Each structure stands twice: as C-alpha cells, then as structure tokens.
Structure 1
Amino acid sequence: MKKTNKTFLTIGIAAAIALSVGACKKSQSTIVAESTTSFKPKTVVTPTSIKIKVLQLNVWQEGTSVTGGFNGIIDAIVQSGADFITMSEVRNYNNVDFSAKVVTALQARGLTFYSFRDNNVGVLSRYPIASFKAAIFGNSFNKAIVNLNTYTQVAVYSAHLDYLNYACYLPRGYDGNACKRWLSQLQM
C-alpha cells in the first residue's frame, strides 16, 4: 500500500506540474497577445531628414584684436548660413554678454538666433535651446540641447582647448610648450 500511495502521489504531482506548465504557457501567450494588440501608436510620425550647417569660429578675443573685428564676426556668421555656430575666445569684456550682443546684431540683420551666456566658449543656434550646461572642464566646453522639431533634439558642444598643446605645431617639430625654445633657435 505504501508503494501504491507513492505511485499515485508521484502521478498526482506530475499531473499538477503539467497542468501548471500548460497554464503558464497559456497565460504567457495571452499576455503577449494582449500587449501586442494593445500597443498601437496614436500618431504615425514619418521620419524626415534635417540638414544642418555648423560653423566653428574662433572670435579672437571677441574681435577686439583687429579693427572692425566684431562686424567681421557678424558678417562671417551671416555669409556662412550656419544653423549652429560654436565660438571660442568669448570673454564678456566689461561684463557685457558677448553671445547676447551677437544675437542682437544678427536680429538687426533679420536673423533669429538663440544663445546663452558663458565664458571662453559659446553656442548660437537658429533653433530654440531647451537647456544648456556651461563651464564643463573649467571653461573649456559647454553643451546646448537644441530642439530641431517636436520629435528631435540634438546636443551641440563648443570647445576651446589648451593652446599650449596645439596639434598644428606638432608637424612643424615643436609644440606650444617649446615655442620659446624653437623661436630662440631661429634667432641664432
């Protein structure tokens, strides 16, 4: 009798497991079917390509190093037709927001741009700026999140790196740290 009880018990457990597995499989397929059928986008968005032009401009101490420099900066921006302008050597001399000054000068020429105040680097955008972060890595970088349209945002970074390690010097056999040494060798 003990042997028979064990057999019925084993068969009963096996049947319960089989029913449980069958029930799980059935409920899983039902869940998948329900979630698949219930997920329908309310609007269909057709992807469109957006072409953007970017200009990186070293404004050379805000254009103060040459006569007519500021107007030259504005002319370069207008002529470029760029959508994003990243600038380096933004100084905000006399506590005047250089980026706002550029935006105002562009408005006088019938162009709408957006910007924010930062030191050393700047971003101008034809598209609204959703957010920005200034003074990344000291004042070497900043970041603007820009809304191109309802569905698309892009991140635009502006950078102004250390002039002492300027890569253009390297093919000439010197670097910014050795510039004085190199110049002294020329004068020999």
Structure 2
Amino acid sequence: MAENLDETASLGPVYAARLAEDLKRNAEEQERLASEVAALQEKMATLRHNQALLVNMQQALGHTEQSDESATAGGAETASVPRQATPTTQAGKVQTGRAKKSTAVAKTAPAAHSTQPTKQGKDQGPTLRDLVVTHLSHEGEPRSAIDVADALSKEHPERGIKITVVRSTLEAMVAKGHVRRSKRGKSVFYTADAVRSASTSQPVTA
C-alpha cells in the first residue's frame, strides 16, 4: 500500500509538466491560427476592394462601347436609306425641286452643327485623363491616387476634382495600358507608361 502511494507521488510532477507543455502548445497554436485568420481577413478586404474597382471599370467601359455601337449603327442606318427615283410627271418635277431644297438644307445643317462641339472642346480644356497622364509623366515616380487628386485640385481648383473620380480614372487607364500600377504594402501607386508618357501632348482616348 505504501509503495503505491510513493509511486503516485513520484508521477505527479511528470503529469504536471506534461499538462503545462500541452497548455503551452495549445496557446501557441491558437496564436498561430489567429494570425492566419487576420491575414486572410486582410486579403479578403483587399479582394473586395479590387472587385469594386473592377466592377466600376467594367460598367464604364461597357457604357462607352454601347455609345460607340449606337453611333455606328446610326451611321449605317443613315447610309442604307435608298434614294427615291425621280418622277417624270409634272408633279414629280415640283417634288424634285422641293427635294433639292431639302437636300441643300440637310447639307448645310450638319456643317453648322459640327462646329459646335469643337468650340465646346476648346472651352472645356484638357480632359481629366490628359491631366493625370501629364502629371504622372512630369513626376517620374510612382504616385498614389490621393497625391494625384491633391496636385490636380491645386492646379485646377475650378474643376472640383474628387479623389473617387481620380481613382476610377487611374484604374480605367491601367486597364487601357496608359498607366502602370504597383503596390507597396497596403498602398497602391501609379506610374505613367514609358511609351505613353512620350506623347503626353496628344489627348488620351478612351
């Protein structure tokens, strides 16, 4: 009986040491898993942010393509309208004279209308994309969207430039290949493309 008590007493410290080691391993495992969960949450937040930017770019590009397709379809429809044959009767001669007058008015009207967009373009000045490319080309180093928006707001306070519009414009230009995007930690920076920056005097088309 005394021998059993002595054996139990001698095993007590061994069990205590094992329990302490198991608790330590458990705490370390919890800490490791917590770090992985935090990293995954941060990565998920970044993916959601990039998804929102990509959706905005897709919608903007889709609207531009729809406008171009509508303009092309309208031009094709106008070109496909057949010209009516000229009547040979006396009444037909009168109709022909009216048709000639209508044609003359139709030819002069587009000419007067075509000058209006040119005047408006001169009054509006360079587009936001032109300003962004020019600024990035002059800087020569990566700039964040906030830096670009602040600089353009100071140079052109009358335009009311917003950071959200600048960021969307930069992302759209990245998709077009006019601007390169790089990441440092959690921050995103933009640089004008070396080939594109050589022609900053020309407007950037969508």
Larger radius of gyration: 2
TM-score, reference length from structure 1: 0.25
**More strand by percentage:** 1
Work out which structure has the larger RCO, using CA pairs closer than 8 Å and 6 or more positions apart in sequence: 2
**More helix by percentage:** 2
